[in-house]
Amino acid sequence: MTTYTFPSITPSSNTFELVTNTRTFKSPLTNSVQTVARKGSLWKVSMTFNNLTGDDRATMQAFLAKLNGQQHRFFVQDHGYTKRGVAPSPADTLLVAGAGQTGSTLNADGATLSQTNYLRAGDYIAFNNELHMVTDDCSSSGTGTIAIPVAPPIRKPTDNNDPIDYLYPVLGVFMLASSASWDTKPGLVSSFTIDAVEDVLA
């Protein structure tokens, strides 16, 4: 399995969806509802590319053929994303602070000291081949530590000092959700719809 860089072609439309791994149980006697959250929530993306011609058309066709269905993986960004936090570029050496972290908060260090709104709600971060969204504004401490609230919850226990990427574009590791095809009109104009899901084992 190889992880490829997605072609630098901007989609006509781009849909990101957080697929949560939760289950609801309803009592047949009282109608009370209990909800259980489990690991394994992931991102799903659908990208539409309308009326590609020439090099863009050929590049997209070749890329989809190279993936060989779900054999290979690829990096994808949310094309509708705009970074909001003040975390600097070039990047700080932002690192995971502590092994074995799970749950919905990531402890990190290496941030610029005492920065209000270092990351803001809606920003993306990536670490350990997982893509996460920051769910609340967070600021760095006087020692450069920061507690980052994230969704979905961390799937794999963290390794200490893993690098954290927050620079635009932040990329997730995805695989095709179904077979790839394209529609071609006279004049060699092709439209593509690509459905993909995050690889939870990456």
Rounded Cα distance, 35 and 167, in Å: 35
At residue 200, does pLDDT exceed 90? Answer: no
How far is it, in rounded angstroms, from Cα 111 to Cα 85? 12
CA gap 70, 196 in Å, rounded: 10
**CATH no. of 82-168:** 2.40.30.290
What mean pLDDT do residues 41-70 have?
A: 94
Nearest to 19 by CA among 39, 47, 34, 48: 39
pLDDT tens by residue, 79-135? 999 999 999 988 899 999 999 999 999 999 999 999 999 999 999 999 999 999 999
- 32 within 8 A of 26, measured Cβ to Cβ: yes
* Collapsed DSSP state (helix, strand, coil) of residue 187: coil
Delimit the domains of the chain by residue range: 3-79+172-198, 82-168
CATH architecture of 3-79+172-198: 2-Layer Sandwich (3.30)
Cis bond before residue 186 (omega within 30° of 0): no
